[in-house]
Amino acid sequence: MQAKMLDGKVAIVSGASYGMGYTMAELFAKEGAKVVMTARGQEKLDNAVQSIRSQGYDVTGVAADNKNLEDVKKVIQTAIDTYGDLDIVINNAAIGEQKMIDETDDEWLEHVYQTNVFGPFRFIRESLKIFLPKNEGCIINISSIGGLVPDISQVAYGSSKAAINYLTKLIAVQEATHHIRCNAILPGMTATEAVEKQLSEDFRNLFLRHIPLKKIGLPEEIGAAVVYFASDESA
């Protein structure tokens, strides 16, 4: 039998109740990983966990909000208590909405940054407490092309992803000598529930004009890249 890419690994995937997060959790499980799925909404998360378990895979769900440090610690401790270790952290949970700068008040900016920047930072800092003693680990941050190319209608979201891009580089350099890898995936427009809800058809068509392939990405395509970066093949 051919070895799976993530055999024996234990992973945390945030924002895992639907969309790209769910797809990543499913692909990780199929590649042999034990997965702790986390998201804020209990009901959606329970349904997502049951869906993957029904396929015969070992996953656990923990309802948590990455804006809360104690919740982040709870998710990490669940991985240790349930599976005995932690090898991979996927920071996928994020929020965003089309708002021009004059529509972006302090409350919304802080809300986005707490989820998109502070949350991943908390997961990185707390997971390093597990990774550093064993001198290995893998962190993958799901960023966005919006963190590189300005989108005037996504002021808070785009700037938060630019922050994640910098944080990824910093952690990658800082922890390289400890054999801890940190990468970011920067998807363009991807066919998720959130995109369908938040972006109009006119906007999606306009976006496609700037994509050479003239297609919207699929969650499975993003997930495949994440699996690679999580595996030893990307060492």
Tens digit of pLDDT for each residue in 196-235? 666 667 767 777 777 788 777 888 999 999 999 999 999 9
Strand order across the beta sheet in which 137-142 lies: 59-63, 34-39, 10-14, 88-91, 137-142, 180-185
Q: Does 18 participate in catalysis according to the annotation?
A: no
Confidence class of residue 21 from pLDDT cuts 50, 70 and 90?
A: very high
CA distance 36 to 226: 16
pLDDT at 192 (0 to 100): 67
- For 59, the 3-state DSSP assignment is strand
Per-residue pLDDT of 88-142, as tens digits, reads: 999 999 998 888 888 889 999 999 999 999 999 999 999 999 999 999 999 999 9
What is the per-residue pLDDT across 29-69, written as a single tens digit (0 to 9) for each? 999 999 999 999 999 999 999 999 999 999 999 999 999 99
- Location of structure tokens 């948590």: 64
Neighbours of 225 (CB within 10 A): 15
Per-residue pLDDT reduced to its tens digit, 149-205: 887 778 999 999 999 999 999 999 999 999 999 999 999 877 566 666 666 677 677
Residue from 18, 113, 157, 166 carrying the catalytic annotation: 157
Tell me the C-alpha distance between 63 and 49, whole Å.
11
pTM of the model: 0.91
Q: Phi/psi at 37 (nearest 5 deg)?
A: -95, 135
Determine phi and psi for 227, rounding to 5 degrees.
Answer: -60, -45
Residue 78 has pLDDT above 80, yes or no: yes
Question: What secondary structure does DSSP assign to 197-218, as a single string?
Answer: HHS-HHHHHHHHTT-TT-S-B-
